[in-house]
Amino acid sequence: MATKVLVPRLGEGVDEVTVTKWLKQVGDSINELEPLLEVNTDKVDTEIPAPASGVILRINMQEGQVAKVGELLAIIGAAGEKIEEYSGVRSLPTSEEKPTLTQRQETLSPSQTDLGFISPVVAKIAAEHGVNLGQVTGTGLNGRITKNDVVSYVESRKLKVETRPSQHANLTPDTLTLSTDTLIKHSPIRRSIAEHMVMSKRTSPHVLTVMEADLSRITKHRAENKSTFERDGVKLTFTAYFMSAIVVGLKAYPTVNSSWTDEGVLIHKSINLGMATSLGEEGLIVPVIKNADNLSLLAMARTVNDLANRARTKKLQPDEVKGGTFTLTNHGISGSLFAFPVINQPQCGILGVGAMQKRVVVIDDAIAIRPMVYLSFVFDHRILDGASADWFLMKVKEILENWS
């Protein structure tokens, strides 16, 4: 008997997903628990496995389409199995499921009857904008022309820039090369980042305070313990030290571990540290270290390694990017000295760590060379004032400089 593939609930508060990539197509065989498709939610890409073995009989959602929890994604069954009993199921046609000529003539002109199935929506948009569908590259299943394909084509024409003829055949819905510019369409992750950043700047009055920390003791401790950690399978990074210092700072000044509400400032009991992680050109994601105040340096380093690796290999679960109460962004990895990070709402603040550099400093009226780093703390001025923000940052600096 055929098996329905439904959108699973991937975490608390996750009510919908965006289908990003089908790993199998209609007619392909698949084994139970083998990855069937990739979906995105809260900037996390997640693979959905097949609930049963068999053949893909029907795919019900296009790539880029938003699907709610419980909605039908696909049907798996035996080869040749009839699925008429699933009435009302909307499917993408396979190459063998061409609509009849009568059906096609309802939406197509005679010159377009060799394009395969064209939905009424696609045909309507094409007619309204005078689009010759023969010039549109289809990106749907089996080359089907989708609504997004036609909309992208119409938008590209509005740019009033002629496409180089030699490049026309290479157009995709994600990258459009024009005679002077290249338009890269927004990915779900990029759209999510943009919306969250704009919302954050509109929500909180951002204020920046910067201090400089001497990492001499940290670098010495790391050099002395790096090999020991490696024997336990853990890479001892500077990020683990910064996270541990933040924990001490948040314990000393709990108001920094808070969120603004209309009723008052909500002080969080748990210290859940977000760790901004770059995904390269795709953007960034912020996995969360839950109950970070219970972790030793070894446990912190192990957790940092695990979350960073799974973030970059798209193995995070949606719950692992939720519930953060404070965030660290180590922008120094790319060479930046200091920055003005954007608060990860609804948190009170975010700490940016710049690149460590050996610089000349004055210590006890003597000139010395020390490994220095800038700490950039951006805070919500509704919750903290300059003095209280500086007290927290000074505590973080103190822990780093006096590590033992």
Task: Round the CA-based radius of gyration of the chain to a whole number and report it.
Answer: 27
Distance CA 278, CA 329 (A): 10
Say which of 181, 319, 381, 390 is annotated catalytic.
Answer: 381
Q: Which two tokens stand for residue 147?
A: 């609504």
CA–CA separation, 46 and 232 (whole Å): 29
Rounded CA separation 160/122 (Å): 22
3-state secondary structure of 207: strand
Side-chain half-sphere CA neighbours of 128 within 13 A: 10
CA distance 237 to 222: 8
Whether 385 sits among the annotated catalytic residues: the reply is yes
- Candidates 220, 210, 138, 174; CA nearest to 354 is 210
Q: Of the residues 28, 174, 232, 385, which is catalytic?
A: 385
| Whether 222 contacts 238, CB under 8 Å | yes
For residues 166 and 162, give the distance between their C-alpha atoms in angstroms, rounded to a whole number.
12
28 is catalytic: no
Residues carrying an active site annotation = 381, 385
